Amino acid sequence: MIFMPLYNDEAVVLKTFPLGEADRIVVMLTKKHGKIRAVAKGVRKIKSRFGARLEPFMRVNALFATGRTFDVVSQAVLVSAYAESICADYDLYSRASMIAEIADDLVSSSAQYQDSCMQYNLLVAALSALSRGLHSADSIGFSYVLRALKLAGWSPMLNECVVCATKDDLSYFSSCSGGVMCSKDHDLQSIKCNGLARFQMISLINGDWKNIDGTDIDYLTYRCVEQWCEYYLERPIKSMHLLENNM
């Protein structure tokens, strides 16, 4: 009999894939072990004891058995069922999908404990806020994107031109240059940016909800956040493009 070492961690389910006829591969962001791909055996059976707890946006306390290729989920105790309210509303679901996609890209399985824990806490806070409707779905989603990237070391300069440091005429935004640019110094990769977009991005990064609540996220804000995110993750974010079609 092969002994498989066990470990316990708190986790949020990011996505799942079917495996065989009854099993499922579950991708989770954990508090202490970074991102984990684990097999949940038999969870697609009707009589599964914990299959419903291992759906996207569920937060669980899980017991894992270490495996050669994939770890195995041995137990899962529900902590927070964010999926119940999120999956019942398209706006919430689309923003939660964006959050989960970016969390999946940002955190590796080899992440250091401190980095993994901070990203995990931010993810939990975002999904909790979405499920409770604390702020608009857009503001929670875009705030998560900017703050998660900031935790990873990528935060845009928004108060002065990245080239000449002027605080005037900041009407462009360039991810490859690191932030806002004036009309004189903007490059070919820059996109239009206005004062409202800069104000909203600063508020979203800092979590200044009093400046955001009751207002719609400007389209230019969305474009700047999208460009910033895709530049550093080095790929198109499918869930963000779906949002663009609805804005």
**pLDDT at 210 > cutoff 80:** yes
Q: Could you tell me if 154 and 82 lie in one domain?
A: no
Output DSSP code: residue 10: E
Q: Output phi, psi for 245, to 5 deg.
A: -65, -20
Q: 21 with 104, same domain?
A: yes
Mean pLDDT score, 22-38:
93
Q: Does one domain contain both 61 and 119?
A: yes
Domain's final residue, options 134, 168, 183 = 134
- Considering the domain architecture, whether residues 117 and 172 belong to the same structural domain is answered as no
45-62: average pLDDT: 86
Question: In the predicted model, is pLDDT for residue 108 greater than 80?
Answer: no
Name the amino acid, one letter, at 102: I
Q: Residue 225's domain spans which residues?
A: 139-247
Contact 215, 196 (CB under 8 A): no
70, 157: one domain:
no
Identify whether residues 183 and 128 lie together within a single domain. Answer: no
Return the CATH number at 7.
Answer: 2.40.50.140
Same domain, 128 and 110: yes
Is the domain of 103 the same as that of 198?
no
Percentages helix, strand, coil for the chain, rounded to the nearest 5? 40, 25, 35
- List of residues 6+ apart from 52 with CB closer than 8 A: 58
Residue 54 and residue 120 in one domain: yes
Tens-place pLDDT, residues 146-169: 999 999 999 999 999 999 999 999
pLDDT for res 51: 74
| Interval 54-81 mean pLDDT | 93
Query: How far, in Å, are 83, 173, 192 from residue 163 at the CA level?
Result: 44, 12, 16
pLDDT band at residue 1, thresholds of 50, 70 and 90?
Answer: very low
Q: Are residues 51 and 158 in the same domain?
A: no
Asked whether residue 47 carries a pLDDT value surpassing 80, the answer given is: no
pLDDT (average), residues 109-115 = 61
Residues 129 and 199 in one domain: no
Percent of the chain with pLDDT over 90: 75
- Taking only the tens place, the pLDDT of each residue in 164-186 is 999 999 999 999 999 999 999 99
- Give the chain's mean pLDDT: 91
Task: Evaluate if residue 221 carries a pLDDT over 50.
Answer: yes
Specify the pLDDT at position 244.
Answer: 64
Of the residues 95, 111, 134, which one is the last residue of a structural domain? 134
pLDDT at 128: 98
113 vs 226, higher pLDDT? 226
Domain boundary among 101, 134, 167: 134
182-204 pLDDT tens trace? 999 999 999 999 999 999 999 99
Q: Are both 115 and 149 inside the same structural domain?
A: no
**pLDDT band for position 44 (cuts 50, 70, 90):** confident
Q: Quote the pLDDT of residue 145.
A: 97
Instruction: Give the chain's domain count.
Output: 2
Tokens linked to 9: 């961690």
